Structure 1
């Protein structure tokens, strides 16, 4: 029987609320092959940048779209990569066999393992699946279940409408103004790492 949402959340122990040394970064991003080449290029460069900084990439396990390019680039650059793939998506997202991966039964298990294995989260351009993963991570932060950094990264203001919506909920007194501290928006890879507190490399 698959774990319930409640049992998965209850696995977040008290250590989740304490910032940890940055060793692994979870990347949420799209699996589309037909999106803008610039987004694929950003994913490739970000995967390379993680490897250059000695940071492990944790991601959804696929070999296509932005997720595949980020993982392949990190692996090719000598970085560590961990993929987490639900079995029912194996044919659709195509497991990247060249990197270590874990097969799970449900999306809840996938997200929980990605959460547990990561010290921070970076959200690259993506669709509804990417947004759902990112928003759930932010919701857990809102509930004080963790204090891990969350950074949205795009070079063309892809995520600007999301931040406009979030500000709208703050102005409507549905989200506290303090939530600004829970999420950052970066418009370059360098700015993203600065938000994560990672020193600039030569």
Structure 2
């Protein structure tokens, strides 16, 4: 998928632990491409539920990729004024002082977070709301991004420690590109970490 976007003229403009981000040739869209993605669909669900709310990005396309990856195409967002971000975060903490869209968004986020804690394995212990998660659209609206996550370290540790049990929770065909995650490409992991993940995947595949 990344090579396909590049052939179409999209340029990589960032990466995180889970995904690579590309900007469209005309600059109005961003594509988030994750080789292995167990959690981003929940943020997409939030955007769908809150469609029309001025504080969530517009999603143009969201689809799972073969092998456990995910592609999302959304409006391109940029970093904005620090003071405006701080005011947004203050209203997030005190929704009674916020505009109607922000109050509605906060309610939906809290509802989904409560559901995730009860139903999603490896769900993150908090909503990931900080200044890094408030960006701005071309028309100046503050928008939240990537609020939900799963604990990647816990997920991979469980895979390493008990591969055959792990694949009862996540099918092996959804782990095909786990080693292509950006976080595992940086060289910042312990020397044998990637090898242990590879060995665990082999054990899960062969049962030995």
Same fold (TM over 0.5): no
TM-score by length of 1: 0.29
Larger % of helix: which? Answer: 1
